[in-house]
Amino acid sequence: MMLLKSLAAIGLFTFLLHGTSFAAAVGGDEWERTVRAAEQEGQVTVYKLGTDAEFHAFQKRYPKIKLNLTAGSGSQLLQRIMAERRAGKYLADVVRTGGGTAMTMLHAKAFDPLPPALIMPEVKDASKWFDGKHHYNDGENRYIFVYAAFPLRMVAYNSKLIDPKSLTSFWDLLDPKWKGKVSAKDPNDPGGASPLLFLYYNPALGPEYLKKLITVGGLTLVRDERQQTDWIASGKVPIAITAKATEVDEAKKQGLPVDVMDPHAMSKEGVAWRRAGQ
């Protein structure tokens, strides 16, 4: 667990994988002991998606520790790790991936708790983090650590027609009572990313879910988010999987009966996150 303690705050999602072979450092200057032990052990293996910039910075600062990076999509990393587990192998020490993949791995009990791996005072001090707390994407606030990102508010609704408590999962949108009453940004629109990508790549949802949402659920695809907000307000299509929650916020300020759901309210399939600055 030596190097994991120093890597614990790297990446969008960072998880401590269960079964790692690092031994814990205790007593004295824990950070210096951790670095020395990690240098003696020699290497750490990271499975990740996204850029390598932060890992390269770590390697430059600690050249005596070999950093083995394995890149892949969320689904590729999930398949690889679970295949290794079935074979009784624990090759990766840390994984950085998206929320849906992480939830699948959490349910498979693939993670060790992350808080014990935090050492540096400025990292452990929650008051120094956004909103004065550590952000996790699991109910126990122990396993799926979120760094330099914010949750995407993906579901907007007409506050006069829809009870938000009736929606706790994206699967709820397949209820016959919502048929034809849900819109989403068209993924073919070149004007920006569609939130449907989160649903498509989420292991708990995926392509089959989207097919059902479009066919059985009668999903309406739109390219104009302003039109989508107008439809929510008028009740024409009272639920929206939206890419522009800020436009709904603005409409609400103008007195229209619209609102955006808390991103954690429909978290059974995980929460979509975006890196700060993207």
> Are 156 and 80 in the same domain?
no
For residues 132 and 134, give the distance between their C-alpha atoms in angstroms, rounded to a whole number.
7
Q: Helix, strand, or coil here: 154? A: coil
Cα distances (angstroms) measured from residue 58 to each of 8, 66, 122: 12, 10, 17
Last residue within a domain, chosen from 97, 117, 147: 147
Give tens-digit pLDDT for 70-102. 888 777 888 898 899 889 888 888 888 766 677
> Are 142 and 101 in the same domain?
yes
> Are 142 and 167 in the same domain?
no
Contact 15, 54 (CB under 8 A): no
Last residue within a domain, chosen from 100, 132, 147: 147
> Are 120 and 38 in the same domain?
yes
Give tens-digit pLDDT for 116-155. 878 778 778 888 777 788 878 777 888 888 765 556 778 9
> Are 223 and 112 in the same domain?
no
> Are 111 and 161 in the same domain?
no
> Are 143 and 157 in the same domain?
no
pLDDT at res. 242 = 78
> Are 132 and 244 in the same domain?
no
> Are 124 and 237 in the same domain?
no
Q: Provide the CATH number for the domain around residue 235.
A: 3.40.190.10
Q: Is the model more confident about 185 or about 210? A: 210
Tally the domains of the chain: 2
Query: Which domain covers residue 27, as residue numbers?
Result: 2-147
Last residue within a domain, chosen from 147, 168, 186: 147
Q: Which residue has the tokens 């039109």?
A: 227
How does the average pLDDT of the chain come out, rounded? 77
Q: Provide the CATH number for the domain around residue 101.
A: 3.40.190
> Are 251 and 232 in the same domain?
yes
Contact 177, 222 (CB under 8 A): no
pTM above 0.75, yes or no: no
For residues 189 and 224, give the distance between their C-alpha atoms in angstroms, rounded to a whole number.
9
